[in-house]
């Protein structure tokens, strides 16, 4: 009798342990060992990524879909996303109206030359702040950061008056000269990127070069710049995109110029197009698809640029720790 009771007790204990193990495995499956490796955490992460992806992709998908629609599809309320027939007429209208090849060439020049100037000057200024001590260094650093904190709308009118006095309005020089002096669009960010990167370079490396007879300029060009390639890539791409997309200040400083940024040319075309047709007309409705086609043609060069430079861009972000917020 005692033997039977002992066997029964062992069976009951075994069943309890097996249930506990099953519960433990199920809990580990749901929440993981450290919560971050469980199913619950992974599902939450994927749901968040899908939600963020939808937020970012929705405008792009909307633009692509409606840019290929015909006038009948735009008027037809039953057509929501997929056009009944695809057309390139909207793209042809914008392409011919703004002379897209020449407009793109002007946009690349307007963005590329200031971006190159800003990259060079920011590297030089950031290296000076990182590796040299001089009077009023902290004050100058604070003033440099202040130029980024203050909204450009506050300094817009004094800057406009200054450019007018120096006869710079309506010329690409309004972009290049401030960039050369380290005060282009968001110039303080570029300087801080180089400042942070050059501070990570050991001073012993510079001192060794000095012992070998290298001067300050040679140390900068032969040692600092080759090591700063990731920061150079980041700064140039950021600067190029910001100059390329700038419309507010570009419209103010480049008015009357034959060279305009691509977004400004598309905006100018839409204003002229809208002035030809009354509000509510069928042609006015077609303007919406033409505008979306113009936006696609505007961002297409940036997408191609990122496609060919994404490997270097990601590596540069990984090495510098810059995220661009």
The burial class, CB within 10 Å (0-12 / 13-18 / 19+), for 54 is exposed
Q: What does the pLDDT read at residue 119?
A: 93
Instruction: State pLDDT tens for residues 2-28.
Output: 555 554 555 545 445 555 565 666 566
Q: State CA 133 to chain mean position distance.
A: 33
> Which stretch of 25-39, 57-71, 265-279 has the lowest confidence by average pLDDT?
25-39
pLDDT grade for 323, boundaries at 50, 70 and 90: very low
Q: Considering the entire predicted model, what is its pTM?
A: 0.78
Ordered domains of the chain (ranges, CATH): 20-67 (no CATH), 89-320 (1.10.3720.10)
Q: What's the rounded Cα separation, in Å, for the pair 252 and 164? A: 11
Q: How many residues does the chain have?
A: 325
Q: What's the rounded Cα separation, in Å, for the pair 155 and 88? A: 43
Q: What's the rounded Cα separation, in Å, for the pair 122 and 127? A: 8
Is residue 324 predicted with pLDDT exceeding 50? Answer: no
For residue 292, which of 265, 274, 270 has the smallest C-alpha distance? Answer: 270
Q: What does the pLDDT read at residue 278?
A: 65
Once rounded to an integer, what is the mean pLDDT over residues 89-106? Answer: 89
Q: Which residues lie closer than 8 Å to 261 by C-beta, 6 or more apart? A: 106, 107, 110, 111, 243, 244, 245, 246, 247, 250, 254
CA angle 210, 214, 220 (to 5 degrees): 95
> Which stretch of 60-64, 83-87, 105-109, 309-313 has the lowest confidence by average pLDDT?
309-313
Q: What is the dihedral of CA 118, 122, 123, 126, to 10 degrees?
A: 180
Once rounded to an integer, what is the mean pLDDT over residues 165-187? Answer: 87
Q: What does the pLDDT read at residue 152?
A: 78
Q: What's the rounded Cα separation, in Å, for the pair 238 and 306? A: 11
Q: What does the pLDDT read at residue 54?
A: 82
**Cα separations (Å) of 236 from 148, 199, 201?**
18, 20, 21
């Amino acid at each position: 009798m005692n033997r039977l009771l002992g066997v029964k007790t062992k069976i009951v204990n075994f069943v309890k342990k097996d249930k506990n193990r099953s519960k433990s495995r199920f809990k580990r499956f749901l929440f993981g060992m450290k919560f971050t490796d469980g199913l619950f955490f992974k599902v939450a992460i994927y749901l968040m990524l899908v939600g963020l992806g939808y937020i970012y992709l929705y405008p792009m998908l909307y633009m692509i879909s409606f840019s290929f629609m015909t006038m009948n599809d735009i008027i037809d309320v039953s057509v929501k996303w997929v056009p009944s027939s695809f057309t390139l007429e909207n793209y042809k209208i914008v392409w011919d109206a703004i002379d897209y090849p020449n407009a793109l060439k002007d946009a690349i020049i307007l963005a590329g030359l200031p971006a190159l100037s800003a990259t060079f000057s920011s590297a030089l200024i950031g290296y000076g702040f990182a590796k040299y001590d001089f009077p009023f260094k902290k004050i100058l650093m604070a003033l440099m950061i202040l130029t980024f904190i203050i909204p450009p709308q506050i300094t817009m009118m004094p800057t406009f008056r200054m450019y007018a006095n120096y006869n710079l309005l309506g010329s690409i020089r309004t972009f290049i000269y401030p960039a050369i002096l380290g005060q282009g669009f968001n110039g303080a960010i570029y300087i801080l990127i180089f400042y942070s990167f050059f501070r990570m370079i050991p001073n012993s490396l510079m001192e060794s070069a000095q012992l070998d007879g290298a001067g300050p300029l040679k140390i900068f060009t032969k040692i600092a710049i080759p090591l700063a390639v990731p920061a150079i890539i980041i700064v140039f791409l950021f600067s190029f995109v910001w100059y390329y997309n700038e419309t507010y200040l570009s419209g103010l400083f480049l008015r009357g110029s034959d060279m305009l940024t691509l977004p400004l040319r598309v905006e100018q075309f839409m204003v002229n197009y809208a002035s030809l047709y009354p509000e509510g007309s069928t042609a006015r409705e077609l303007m919406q698809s033409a505008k979306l086609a113009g936006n696609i043609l505007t961002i297409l060069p940036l997408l191609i640029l990122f496609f060919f430079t994404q490997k270097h861009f990601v590596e540069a972000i990984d090495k510098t720790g810059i995220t661009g917020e």
